[in-house]
Structure 1
C-alpha cells in the first residue's frame, strides 16, 4: 500500500512505539517487537491493510506503552513483511514514507490515534540555498575528523536537491541524542531546522577535534614510554657487558638527595649518623650482608617524616563538637578533656611556652567497653591529626618500644618510631592502649621506657636504639587507656592526667544503642533501618538480660547477632520486607540470657546482707552470708577473700562483740545455750556468752572468684550482728563502707559503679559513708538517685538500726 492510497489525512492509524531506534521517512528498517501492544498494532495494520505510525519512546520511558511515554510525532509507513521468531518476538520490515503527528488519541491495546501529515514550510529560497552550502561544508569538515559519513553518503548529500531529505540523512548519521533528533524532526520551518542542524554540526566538529587531539597525545606518550623502555633495556645490557652497573650509584644518590631535602628539619646528630651510613654503603660490596643491613636502616630512617607537622591550630570548640557527636553521656570525662585542651589552646594563643604541659599524657581509666579508645579517636579527629594505636597488653620486651640494636638479625625501630612513619607526621595522637597490662620479664621493664617517653623533661631527646640518634617526641599528644589504675607503677602514674570513665546506666546504654550502635551495625551488615526494627522494650530486655558489662561492647555483639540472623532471614524469604524484633520473638535471635545482676530476694533473712562491690568491669551486688555454730567463739572465713577483706572480717567481729558488751546489740536470752550448772542453778547466761559459745562462719558466695578490697566492713559487721542477735536483715537494703575498731564508717571508692549495680538489682535503699555522700553524690546519674534512697551513715550503730528488723 502507498501513501497516495489514502485520499485524506488525518486518518486513524495503529501506533508502534520503538524503544531504541529513531526512524526517518527514507528508511526501510527491520523492527523487533516483543511486547503485546506493538505486536497487536502490527497485526491490526496488516489485517486492515492499513498504514502504521512508528514513534520513539521518550528517554527513560523505554518499555512503557502509553501516549505520555512517547513522542507525539513519528514516521508514517507500511509493514512490508512479518515473521514470527522462535523466542516469541515478531520481526517486521517497515518502510517509512513521510512524517506524521498525532492529533487525537483514540485508544490503547493497541495504541490508536488520529494522525496528520507533518508538512515542512519553505520561506526564503535564497537563504535556504546559502544555509545548505554552509551545511554541506560543515559535513565535509566533520567527515574529515570523524567516521560519521562514508564516501557514498557524502556523495548523496552533495548531489541531492531535496533539502528536507538531506537534513534527515545528516541527522540519522550523526547519532544525535533522542531529544536533539526529535527537535529537528518536528521543526516545520525548513530554515530553522537547517540552522539548528548547523549548530549541531559545529558542536560535533569541536568534540571530534578534541577527541582526536587527546588520542594523538596518548599515542605519542605511549610511543615515548616504549622508546625510553627499549633504550634503558639496551643501556642495561651494555653496562652488564662492560661490567659496570649504575643502578647502585643511582640508589646511593637517591639517599643523598632525600637526606639533603630533609636536612633543615633534622637534628645535627641525625644528619651525621645517616650521612655516615650512606658513605659506608657506597664503599661496600653490594653482595655483602652488612650492605643489606645498612640499606634496610636507610630505608627506615629516610621514611621518618621529620618535615611533616600538622599545622592545624587547636580549637576547643571543635574538640567539644567532636566529643558531643561521637559520645553520649560521659559528661564529666568530656568536660575534663575540654578543660585540658582549653589550657593548651590558651597557652598557644598567648605564646606562652610551658614545657611541663607540652606532650603531657591523658589516661582514660575505666571498665572495658565504656569508650576509652573511641575518646582518643575523637581527640585525633578534633585536632585533625593522624591516630597511632600502640597495644601494650602483655608487652614484656623493652626493645619493642626502644628499638633493637642493629647488630641483631631482623632488627627494626621501636613501635613509637614505626608509629611516626605510619602516621607520616611528627605530632600525631598516639594511643598507648592497656598501659596497666605491661609485663615485666628478663627482657627488661617496658615501663622504664614509658617513663622517658611520657616525661616532658626527657621526651624531646628520645633515643631509639635502632636509629642511634635522638628524636623529638614532645609534639606528640599521648593518650593512654587502662582498666585498673592501681596496677600501673607509681612513677608512671605520676606522669599522667587521669580521667575516670565509669559504668553506663541502663538508660544510657539504651540511648547509646539507639543513636550509635544500631545505625552502625545496620550499615555494617548491609541492612536498612526500614528492613529491621527493634522495639524499645526488646532493646531494654537485651540490655537487662543478655549482657553482663559496664560498657556497651557486648551489647554491640548481641545486636550484631540479631542483624546476622535478620540478614539470613531476608535472603531466604525474599517476600518478607521487614523484620520486627520484640520481647516475644527475641529468643529466636539470641541464644541465652546472662543475668547481669540478680534482683534481690524479697524475703528478709537472718545473716544475709547485700554488699556493694567494685570490680574492674563495673559494680556488683555481693550477698555476704553468716551462720552461727555452737563452739568456742572462733571465726571461719570462706569465699576466696584477700588479706584486706579477712582483716575487715576480724575487725567487724571485734566491733560487734563490743556492741554486744555495751548492750547496744540486744541478745535474746533464750538463744544462748546454757551450761549444766546454769540449768541447775536456774541462772541466765551473760549476753557476752553468745559470742563465746558460738563459732561464726562468714562466707562470700562465688568462692572461685578472688575478692578483695576495703569496703565490706559494715556489711560483714551487719551479717555477724544479725546472727548473734537473731534478727533479720532487710532484703531491700544494700551497703558499702569500711569500718574502724571504734565503729566509725570510713569512705570508699567506686561509689558510682556500686550504686548503679544496686539500681540494676532493684535495691530500694543504699547506705553509704557520710564522706562519700558529701563528696561524690553529684557524680551519680539522676535516674539512679531517683530510684534509690541513699542514706549517709557515720557509725555502725546507725547501720544496724536501719537494717536489722
Structure 2
C-alpha cells in the first residue's frame, strides 16, 4: 500500500542497509552524498537511504541504486577533521523511488511511502514466536549479540517492526537484507526471515565444529611439543641426549626442515613414531632409520633451471667432439623440440656404437649444454631385477635400486641420467632386469615409478634418460621399442688424425708434465700411429699409444739425452717398437683369379683380397679363410650364377664337372662375415675361369643374387676410406648406395672414381681386362 509521493534528497549507501526503527552512525565523504545531507539539514532533516548494487562503484548512477530504501531522520551531524561527515540516523519508513528529480549536484528523488500489509493475526503471532525462538538459538551459537538485545527484541509486539529489528542485528549479505526490505507483506517477511536465521544457525554450528576440531588439534600439537620439551630437559639432565631419543629428535628436525611432499612427510613421521617405540637393540630399528634417511636424501622438488640454447649446445658439442655431424644434428633437434614443448617427454635416445667412440662423453656434453646435473649408472652384468627396482625392506641389508641410488647422487629431480651398457643386462632365475627398465623408460609410466624399498611412487618424468649400447641385437625388443637408436659407427682416419692432434695429444702432454716445446709429433707419424699401431673404431687405443709416446719422451728428457723430441714417421718405431697391425694394400699388377673387396668391421674399413684357383677334379667347391655363414652363402650364390650364365661368359658349361674350385680369403685366423662380398667372389671366379685379369686399381663391394642383381650394402664411408688408404682409385658400388656418397669426406671423394652398378654384368665389364692371360689358365 502506498501514500502520496514526497521529494527527498538521496544518500546512496555502500555495503550498508538501514531498516525502519534502526538507529546507527554513518560516515559520509562523497561529494554528492555530502550535498544531499546538507540539503536535508536545511529542510526537515529527512533523507532517503538506499543501497548501491555494487559496493566498488565510487560514482553511482540511478541504475546502480536499488529502488526501495528507507526514509530516515538525521538526528545528529558532526564534521570530522579529514573532511568527512559523521551522522546519526534513525530509520522511519519504507519508500520506493518513483523518479529521479536531480542527479547533477546531488541526488533528489520522488518517493512513494510503502506501508506494511498484514494478514491473519494468529498466523503472524505464531511466526513471531517462531522467529524469537530461532533468534534466541542464533544468539547462543553466534555469541556476537548480547543477551540484552534479545530482551529488547522480546518486548516488541508489532510483527513488521520485530522483523526489521531482528534483521538489523543479523550478519547477512546486503542482497538478502534488501530482499527483506522489499517485502511489504509482513507474513512473507517473517517466513523468509525464519528460514534465513535457520540457515545461518546451521552454518554457525558447522563453523563451531570446525573450530573445535582445530582447537583440539592445536591443543594436541601443543601438548606433544610441551611433553617433548620436558623429555629433552630430562634427558639433558640425565646425560642421555646421545641415546635413541636424541637420534629421533634429530631426524624429526630434518623431516620438518625438508621440502618433501606432504604424503612423503606423513610416511616419514609415521615411521619415525615406530622408530621411537622399537627397542634400539632390535634389528628393525636400524632398518627404519635407514629408510627415513633415504627418504631425506632423495631429491623430491630440487631442480636445476634448463638453459637450452642451440648455439651454445652446438659450440659445446663441437668443442668436445670432432666429426659425428649427423649425431650432433640429431641431438640439437632433440634439444630444440624440448625447448619448444617445455616438456622432457619424448623418445629416449640410445647411442649405439663400438667402445671408445665417445658415447658417454656425448651424454656429458648434453648435460653441460643444458645446465643439468649428470649421473651415470652401469647396467653391464646386472642379472637381478632388484638391482633396478630395489629390495623389499623385509630383507636383511635391503637397499633401493640403481635408479633411486642414481637420483640420490644427482641431487635434483631433472638430471641427465646415463644408462650405460644397456645391452649387457642378463636374465636368470632372479628375474629379468630389462623388464624392470620398461617402466623407467616409458614416459607414460615413469611419473609413478615404484621402487620396492622406497614403496612410495617416485616421479622420473623430469629426467632426461640417455642409454648406450655396443650391439643393437643384444637389446631386448620391448626395451628397444621405447628408445630411438642413434648409430655411432666410429671415426675415419681423417677424423682420428684431427682428434689426436687437437684433443688427445694436448691432454696427454698435460698429464705427463710435458709442453709442446718438449715433444712434437708430425702428421705423417700420427697417421702411421693410427694405421699400424691401432685397429679400432674409437680412439682409446690411440690415446694409450700417445700416452706411451709421452712417457718415452719424458724419460729421454729427464735422462738428459735430449731436451726436445720430434717424432717422425721413421723415428716412431724407435719409441713404440715394431707396428702391431698391417693394413691392406692393392695389388701391384693385374691378377687373374684375385679380386679386391671392401670390408667393414667394428674397427673401421679394410680391403679384403679374395683368391680363386681351379684344377682338374670332380666339381668340388672348397671355401677357406674362416668364412661366416653369410659369406659362404654368397660364394654359393656366385658359383650358381656363373654356372647358369656359363655360355654368355665364354666359360665351358661343364667346368664344374671337370674342375675342383677353391675360394680362399687370406688372414685365415681372422673371422670374416657379412653380406657385401658377393660380387667380389663372383668377379674372382669369372676371372679364374676365363683367364681375364682383374684390374689392380679396382675395388668392389655389393651382394649378389642368383639372377645377378647387385644389392645395397652398409658402411660405404668406411669402405671408401680403406680403399683410398690402400691406393685404389676406382670403386664399384651398388646403384642404390649412390645416396651414401655424400657422407664420404670431400678430400677422399675427389680422388676416387665411383662406378654405380645394379647387375653383375656391369661389374665384370668394369673390373676385368679384355685380353686373356694364357699363363693363368688351367
* TM-score under structure 2 length normalisation: 0.66
Cα contact 1:619–1:756 (8 A) shared by 2: yes
Per-residue deviation at 1:412?
1.6
SS at match of 1:787: coil
2:645 corresponds in structure 1 to 659
Q: Distance in 1 between matches of 2:551 and 2:694?
A: 47
- Assess if the C-alpha contact under 8 Å between 1:429 and 1:478 holds in 2: yes
8 Å CA contact 2:356, 2:540 repeated in 1: yes
5+ residue gaps in structure 2? 1-230, 770-778
Matches within 5 A, 1:161-310: 244-245=240-241, 247-263=243-259, 265-266=260-261, 268=263, 270-310=264-304
Change (3 A) 1:551 1:244: closer
Q: Which residue of 2 aligns with 1:320?
A: 314
CA distance in 2, matches of 1:729, 1:260: 83
State the 1:657 CA deviation: 1.1
Deviation (angstroms), 1:309: 0.9
What SS does the corresponding residue of 2:330 show, helix, strand or coil? helix
Instruction: Pick from 380, 385, 395 the counterpart of residue 408 of structure 1.
Output: 395
For 2:430 and 2:458, how far apart are their aligned partners in 1? 23
Distance 1:421-1:791 versus aligned 2 partners, 3 A rule = same
Distance 1:439 1:703, change over 3 A: farther
SS in 2 for 1:621: strand
Indicate the residue corresponding to 1:723 in structure 2.
Answer: 688
What residue is the counterpart of 1:585 in the other structure?
A: 571
Contact 1:402 1:449 in 2 (8 A): yes
How far is the alpha carbon of 1:238 from its aligned partner?
Answer: 9.8
Mark the CA change 1:483 to 1:759 in structure 2 (over 3 Å): closer, same or farther. Answer: farther
- Structure 1 CA distance for aligned equivalents of residues 762 and 715 of structure 2: 22
Aligned counterparts of 1:267 and 1:433: Cα–Cα separation in 2: 34
Whole-Å separation in 1 of the counterparts to 2:385 and 2:589: 56
Distance 1:258 1:596 in 2: 64
Equivalences for residues 422-437 of structure 1 within 5 A: 422-437=409-424
- Structure 2 residue matching 1:448: 3-state secondary structure: helix
Post-superposition, which runs of at least 4 consecutive aligned residues in structure 1 deviate over 6 A? 235-238
Counting only pairs closer than 5 Å after superposition, residues 10-409 of structure 1 correspond to structure 2 as 244-245=240-241, 247-263=243-259, 265-266=260-261, 268=263, 270-348=264-342, 358=345, 360-409=347-396
Label 1:690 to 1:290 Cα distance change in 2 as closer, same or farther (>3 A): same
Aligned equivalent of 1:553: 540
Whole-angstrom distance in 2 between the partners of 1:713 and 1:605:
19
1:89 is matched with which residue?
none
Spell out, residue by residue over 1:563-611, the C-alpha distance to the aligned partner (whole angstroms, 9 max, x if none). Answer: 11222222222x8432222233222321231335221221333332222
Q: How far, CA to CA, are the matches of 2:602 and 2:438 in structure 1?
A: 25
The correspondence for 1:712, drawn from 648, 671, 677, is 677
SS in 1 for 2:244: helix
1:382 Cα offset (Å)? 0.5
Residue number among 790, 793, 803 corresponding to 2:754 in the alignment? 790
How many Å separate the matches in 2 of 1:707 and 1:399?
40
**2:737 equivalent in structure 1:** 772
Segments of structure 1 that go 5 or more residues without pairing to the other structure are 1-234, 668-686
- Contact 1:367–1:618 (CA under 8 A) maintained in structure 2: no
Determine if contact 2:400/2:454 at 8 Å carries over to the other structure. Answer: yes
Maintained 8 Å contact 2:585/2:607: no
Taking a change above 3 Å as real, the CA distance of residues 236 and 508 of structure 1, as seen in their structure-2 partners, is: same
CA contact (8 A) 2:447 2:459 kept: yes
Spell out, residue by residue over 1:723-754, the C-alpha distance to the aligned partner (whole angstroms, 9 max, x if none): 22233222332221111221111111222222
Describe the SS at the equivalent of 1:441: coil
**1:303, 1:510 → 2: CA distance?**
46
Cα 1:517–1:803 shift into 2, 3 Å? same
Distance 1:343 1:243, change over 3 A: closer
C-alpha contact (below 8 Å) 2:595/2:699 kept by paired residues: yes
Q: Once the two structures are superposed, what CA deviation does each residue of 1:7-47 show, in whole Å capped at 9, x if it has no partner?
A: xxxxxxxxxxxxxxxxxxxxxxxxxxxxxxxxxxxxxxxxx
Aligned counterpart, 2:630: 644
**What is the CA–CA distance in structure 1 between the aligned matches of 2:571 and 2:252, rounded to whole Å?**
69
Alpha-carbon distance change, 452 to 618 in structure 1, aligned in 2, over 3 angstroms: farther
Partner in structure 1 of residue 606 of structure 2: 620
CA deviation digits over 1:361-393, x for unaligned, max 9? 212222332222211111111111121122223
Equivalent residue runs for 1:461-472 within 5 Å: 461-472=448-459
1:602 aligns with 2:566: no
Deviation at 1:622, TM superposition (A): 2.1
1:58: which partner in 2? none
Change (3 A) 1:469 1:625: farther
Deviation at 1:285, TM superposition (A): 0.7
Distance 2:539 2:684 in 1: 35
| Cα distance in 1, alignment partners of residues 707 and 700 from structure 2 | 19
2:732–2:754 Cα contact (<8 Å) kept: yes
Displacement of 1:788 after TM fit? 1.9
Question: Taking structure 1 as reference, are residues 262 and 641 closer, same or farther at Cα in structure 2, changes over 3 Å only?
Answer: farther
8 Å contact 1:531–1:579 — kept in the other structure? yes
User: Quick check: 1:500 aligned with 2:514?
Assistant: no
Alpha-carbon distance in 1 for matches of 2:661, 2:340: 62
Structure 1 stretch displaced more, 401-410 or 334-343: 401-410
Q: Provide the TM-score with structure 1 as the length reference.
A: 0.63
Give the counterpart of 2:658 among 693, 699, 707.
Answer: 693
Q: CA deviation at 1:503?
A: 3.1
User: What is the CA distance between 1:286 and its match in structure 2?
Assistant: 0.7
Structure number with larger C-alpha Rg: 2
Per-residue CA deviations over 1:709-733 (Å, capped at 9, x if unaligned) read 2222212222222222233222332
Q: Aligned partners of 2:340 and 2:321: how far apart in 1? A: 25
Map of 1:206 onto structure 2: none
SS in 2 for 1:771: helix
**Given the superposition, is the C-alpha separation of residues 285 and 629 from structure 1 closer, same or farther in structure 2, using an over 3 Å criterion?**
farther
Deviates more, 1:391-400 or 1:459-468: 391-400
Contact 2:676 2:702 in 1 (8 A): yes
Match of 2:514 among 520, 527, 532: 527
Alignment partners' CA distance in 1, 2:329 and 2:516: 33
Show CA shifts across 1:440-493 (max 9, x none): 333322221222211111111111122122211121111122222233222222
Q: Once the 2 structures are TM-superposed, how far is the Cα of residue 795 of structure 1 from its aligned partner?
A: 0.3
Change (3 A) 1:577 1:273: same
**Cross-structure match for 2:151:** none
Cα distance change of structure 1 residues 391 and 702 upon mapping to structure 2, 3 Å threshold: farther
Q: 2:715 — aligned with what?
A: 750
Quote the offset at 1:626 in angstroms.
2.5
CA shift, 1:539, in A, is: 2.0
CA separation of 1:275 and 1:720: change in aligned 2, threshold 3 A: farther
Distance 1:282 1:360 in 2: 46
Conservation of the 8 A alpha-carbon contact between 1:388 and 1:428? yes
The answer to whether the Cα contact below 8 Å between 2:692 and 2:768 also exists between their aligned partners in 1 is yes
> What displacement does 1:689 show?
0.7
